[in-house]
Chains A and B, each alone.
Chain A
Amino acid sequence: MKQYAYYPGCSLESLAKPYQLSAKEVSLALGLDLKEIEDWNCCGATAYFPVDELLAYTLVARNLAIAEKTGLTEFVAPCSACFKNAYYTNNYLKKDPDLADHINFALEEDDLHVEGTLKVRHLIEVMLEDVGLEAIKNQVTHPLAGLKIAPYYGCQLLRPRKDHEDVENPQFFEELLSAIGAEPLKYETKTRCCGASLIITNRKAALEMVRLLLKEAIDRGADVIATTCPMCNVNLEVYQSQVNREFGTDYSIPVMYFTQLMGMALGIAPRRLGIAKESVPKAREAVTA
């Protein structure tokens, strides 16, 4: 089994527990060994950067340093915001010795040192590239036949652009959903932002952003919206009732992590994928019907 330094992030210990459960189950089933790094700290999402840039990088660097110490070479995050922070911090550390010096001076307090030598990846990339579509397909025992899914990529999984990859109309999520037998829908707003923490700081703006995403998925006849990030999932799922109150709609669509959908297709019991705990009970009907 290939081993990875795994950084779950705070959300996976609270709001996104179903993501944690399903990520672990599916990884195990596909032969990926996610080794959670010890004593990690919150990476800060988008909240530290408005306060202090260097502190923001230092907090991310501490987790990278802990992961480097394990001797593993790949750092995997299931949260898109954590992934983006780790990916760019790692890059800046590698490229900018001055920045690395500053940060290492602070890390000395915790007997840590960072080099920026890890390969930083999102969990969905690991599934697609290290396991591969063919191998996933071969393990599917309960294809999600007929299930119409809106693949929601969100922002930080794709942006900023890392190399020359297609950030305007990516297809990898659709390919993954096809591999598990589901029907990925065309979803124009798939890379449009859900509002992230504006849900707290600018409620009106965020609810409008969430409304647009829900509307397109529902108009296209989606049974489920699939996500790759705890923040996206929470905004689309938990705030549906507030969207309905604000706009007089009656939206009620299940929102599920891609790992929950994969787990269903691999024949893992819904309970072990955190599916019974969803706020929107329809999620269960949609996939078990």
Chain B
Amino acid sequence: MAAELSFNQEIANMMYATHGNPISHCLQCGTCSGTCPAADFMDYTPRAIIGMIRENFKDEVLASNTYWSCASCYHCTVRCPAGIDIADMMYALKRYSMWKSRFKEGLIGPDFSEAFVKMIVNSGKSFEPILATTYLPRFSAADMVQEALTATGLVLKGKIPLLPKRIKRLKKFQRMVKRIIPLGELS
């Protein structure tokens, strides 16, 4: 029987383009956490999350909001003395949690990503108002009112068109997408 992959290895396997991104080289220096503009809003700091992955704390990592609070700003990445692309690792964690369908309760991030991808697969372009309606239900009532006001204000000011655009070769585009991912759960 094949040995079960460590969590560390599973995450490394989710980073194709950066070829595994060796988080095992992390020095636990905390530069990433000190740099991160979103750290105050994370359950665990970037440094802590890396430590937890290495220690195989899979359940705790998957129950955290850390990577869904990452803005992908790459500030940590350019400062890491061990050359780790932490922002890319945060993406890998998002992918892993989408793949396993395991998220912390109440997060908007997973819904938002899915809605965005659906929209693009359906039209080839992104269109804010349509997107807004797909993610609004997750907002609290007060947020919803704010968001609606902002969106309506923008439409009235002529900043957002009322109808979505579509690319011309949409059918071919969708067949292209199908060669990469089976669309079952997305469309």
Same complex origin of A and B? yes
A58–B127 Cα distance when bound, in Å, is: 20
B187 contacts chain A at the CB level, 8 A cutoff:
no
The one of B65, B143, B167 in contact with A203, judged by C-beta atoms closer than 8 angstroms, is B143
**B95 A52 Cβ-Cβ under 8 A:** yes
**B181 A55 Cβ-Cβ under 8 A:** yes
B82 contacts chain A at the CB level, 8 A cutoff:
no
- Residues on A with C-beta less than 8 A from B127 are 10, 14
Q: Which of A51-72 contact B (CB under 8 A)?
A: 51-55, 57-59, 62
B64 contacts chain A at the CB level, 8 A cutoff:
no
Number of interface residues of A (CB under 8 A): 67
A171 contacts chain B at the CB level, 8 A cutoff:
no
B57 contacts chain A at the CB level, 8 A cutoff:
no
The one of A58, A195, A212 in contact with B176, judged by C-beta atoms closer than 8 angstroms, is A58
- Residues on A with C-beta less than 8 A from B69 are 198, 202, 205
B100 contacts chain A at the CB level, 8 A cutoff:
no
A17–B160 Cα distance when bound, in Å, is: 9
Binds B, one of A128-136, A159-167, A216-224: A159-167
A44 and B128 contact, Cβ closer than 8 Å, known pairs A110-B173, A202-B41: no
The one of B16, B41, B146 in contact with A205, judged by C-beta atoms closer than 8 angstroms, is B41
**B173 A47 Cβ-Cβ under 8 A:** no
Chain B facing A: main interface SS: helix
A53–B78 Cα distance when bound, in Å, is: 21
A251 contacts chain B at the CB level, 8 A cutoff:
no
Minimum Cβ distance to chain B for residue A123 (Å)? 20
Q: Which of B172-187 contact A (CB under 8 A)?
A: 172-173, 175-181
A204 contacts chain B at the CB level, 8 A cutoff:
yes
**Known pairs A15-B160, A51-B95, A161-B78. 13 more at Cβ < 8 A?**
A41-B120, A42-B124, A44-B117, A51-B117, A53-B95, A55-B177, A110-B169, A155-B74, A160-B74, A198-B38, A202-B65, A209-B38, A245-B146
Number of interface residues of B (CB under 8 A): 63
A40 contacts chain B at the CB level, 8 A cutoff:
yes
Task: Name 5 interchain pairs, CB-CB below 8 A, sorted by A.
Answer: A53-B16, A53-B91, A62-B173, A200-B112, A212-B37
With both beta carbons as reference points, the residue of chain A lying nearest to B135 in the complex is identified as A200
B58 contacts chain A at the CB level, 8 A cutoff:
no
Minimum Cβ distance to chain A for residue B162 (Å)? 10
**A48 B169 Cβ-Cβ under 8 A:** no
**Residue positions of B touching A, CB distance < 8 A:** 14-17, 37-38, 40-41, 65, 68-69, 71-75, 77-78, 85, 87, 91, 94-95, 98, 107-110, 112-114, 116-117, 120, 124-128, 135, 143, 146, 150, 153-154, 157-161, 165, 167-169, 172-173, 175-181
- Residues on B with C-beta less than 8 A from A202 are 38, 41, 65, 68-69, 108-109
A99 contacts chain B at the CB level, 8 A cutoff:
yes
A10, A51, A53, A55, most chain B CB atoms within 10 A: A51
A55–B95 Cα distance when bound, in Å, is: 12
**A50 B109 Cβ-Cβ under 8 A:** yes
**B74 A58 Cβ-Cβ under 8 A:** no
The one of B112, B135, B153, B181 in contact with A52, judged by C-beta atoms closer than 8 angstroms, is B181
- Residues on B with C-beta less than 8 A from A198 are 38, 69, 71
